[in-house]
Amino acid sequence: MENIRITLLDGSEKEFPKGSSISEIIKTINISLSKKALAAKLDSNQLVDLSHKLQKDHKLDILTFESKEGREVFHHSSAHLLGQAVQRLWKDALLTVGPVVESGPGFFYYDIDLQSTTITPEDLPKIEKEMEKIVKENLEVNRKELSKQEAIRQFTEMGEKYKVELIEGFEAETVSLYGQGEWFDLCRGPHVPNTALLKAFKLTAISGAYWKGNKDNQMLQRIYGISFPSKKELDEYIHLLEEAKKRDHRKLGKELELFTFNDEAPGFPFWLPKGTVLWNMLADYIRKECFQHGYQEIRTPSVLSSELWKRSGHWDNFRENMYFTHVDENEFAIKPMNCPGCSLVYKNAIHSYRELPLRYAELGMVYRHELSGVLHGLFRVRAFTQDDAHIYTPFEFLEKEIIDIIDFTLKVYNKFGFYEFKTYIATRPEKSQGRDEDWEEATKTLQLALEKKDIPFGIKEGEGAFYGPKIEFNIKDSIGRLWQCGTIQIDFSMPERFELDYVSSDGKKKRPVMIHRAVYGSLERFVGILIEHYEGKFPLWLSPVQVRILTVSETHSDYAKKVFDVLIQNDFRVELDARNEKIGYKIREAILKKVNCFLVLGDKESAENSVSVRKRGEEKTTAYSLAEFIEAMKQEIDKD
């Protein structure tokens, strides 16, 4: 019998009979792994089911729930489980699409046309019970390929008009179906080998969604869900969801009076006075750090000619996310990114190699058209401020500059209590510009920089910017969630498009390499992350209200005003509560507002020129002279 050679992820090679299925191969390698295997990847790019039979030599990667691709397979199979349960319960239910998602109230959803009834939250336990039944049936999941016409015929007979519409839009002449028990669905796969693996799940939300996202189409019912290989993992995640719900920045933003949204400007945040303090503190901090790291701050216009965006490549690669206007009968665009404007600043003067690396920083507001369905508090808005920087450097300094940016980025994150990260290099996407050799060189430089800093990293294939590869920093917050924030992107393309150059040591003109760098990513989104990370309990240096003064009665108002004025003169952010309310009521409100500390001022304090201080999270009250309190506050701020 003819054998084939299989190369495993660790580089080892083994021979197997030609025609062996992947599941058979895994069982000979590692029985424990075979119990966790969900699907496989061949030759680094082809995702296949475990039942797939191998006819030639391959590089084989076994996908488990530990990998991103393995989780996607698991969650996609969970969507099929949901679809089958719904169609068992409601015979007239028509299924549309059931994808995996990275954000929102679940890991997967299914959009369903069910005109006979409206599914309510009270129906979810019933659907879950049917899903549990399907899991216990241990149904084998099978793949089948049909001609396009045969698939259309089958789904037409079933009345599945949405599936027919999808198939008619396919270019390929064959389509794949996945079946489990009596049920099957249109899908390219891969999927888990049997339903018994989908042990732990929960349906989390119901919403409406238009077919294909078009408001002129049928309104569908969208059911979201989460799923895990074990109940323990599911319970841990549900606990995380409950904790995250308490920290929801939209809820806390309203309670702490930080920001708001209005129907007059959907997707555009309005910063309230306390939120503006928070925003300014972040801006001031990053400005200071940039100055100390050799950056010069610039400001560029928000409205620029469409010709600029055509030259930069954004017109071809980003136009659907841009806003346009006309000025003097000429077309202009509101900037979605800061980099083209920064390149015009660079081009404003002749530069010598002695000036480089030249670092420009810009807190630039950008505008991007996001669909209303994806808007989400401060996390997904239509206008936001990037802590952008663009560095122009000779190629020979590129690696050193990347390392310096890494150090700078980690220093900023540590300031806010972020010490754990997941780091990735995102490589060339399908829709991109530039020479292959430049992309390869840039990607290699990013890898070398991370290796020299001893930072582990993963690869996100095809997820780079259209002009170059990038490093992505994912910060882990206080409850273990990861947030993608900072990026370092290498760009050979824009200096070429804008004809940017510098005079080298031999007197000749050369192109610099352009580095795009952001640490917060977006100030708006970073504020949202910090609200949830701190649960609204900001450190003293950052807090919008550091001190709240509470009077025991109206007779103490004069002394309270004196204390207020002294604290303001010492640059503290202070609120005075001199209302004619009981002191217990004022204390409870101060606790709810999460101020760092509040001062209770009564007869004793007025007579002794002192303050009684209660810090956030503490039950005890401590007496200080006013001077002692001010010194203690300044020391705490310096410590932060």
Q: Which residues are catalytic?
A: 339, 368, 386, 388, 390, 470, 516
Q: Long-range contacts of range 436-441, CB-CB < 8 Å, 24 or more positions apart?
A: 438/468, 438/492, 438/493, 439/468, 439/469
69 close to 48: Cβ distance less than 8 angstroms: no
Count of helix runs (H) and strand runs (E) in the chain: 20, 32
96 to each of 72, 111, 113, 566, how far by Cα in Å? 19, 6, 7, 65
Is 633 exposed, middle or buried (CB count within 10 Å of its CB: 0-12, 13-18, 19+)?
buried
Cis before 394 (ω within 30): no
Residue labelled with tokens 């993963």: 458
Q: How far apart are CA 587 and CA 550, in angstroms?
A: 8
Q: How far apart are CA 440 and CA 469, in angstroms?
A: 9
How many other CB atoms sit within 10 Å of the CB of residue 171? 5
Instruction: Name beta bridge partners: 303.
Output: 334
258 close to 274: Cβ distance less than 8 angstroms: yes
Q: Encode 384-403: b = buried (16+ Cβ within 10 Å), e = exposed.
A: bbbbbbbbbbbeebbbebbe
Q: Encode 485-519: b = buried (16+ Cβ within 10 Å), e = exposed.
A: bbbbbbbbbbbebbebbbeeeeeeebbbbbbbbbb
Q: How far apart are CA 258 and CA 273, in angstroms?
A: 7
Q: Which one-letter DSSP state was computed for residue 302? A: S
Q: How far apart are CA 615 and CA 597, in angstroms?
A: 4
Of 271, 546, 275, 506, the closest CA to residue 383 belongs to 271
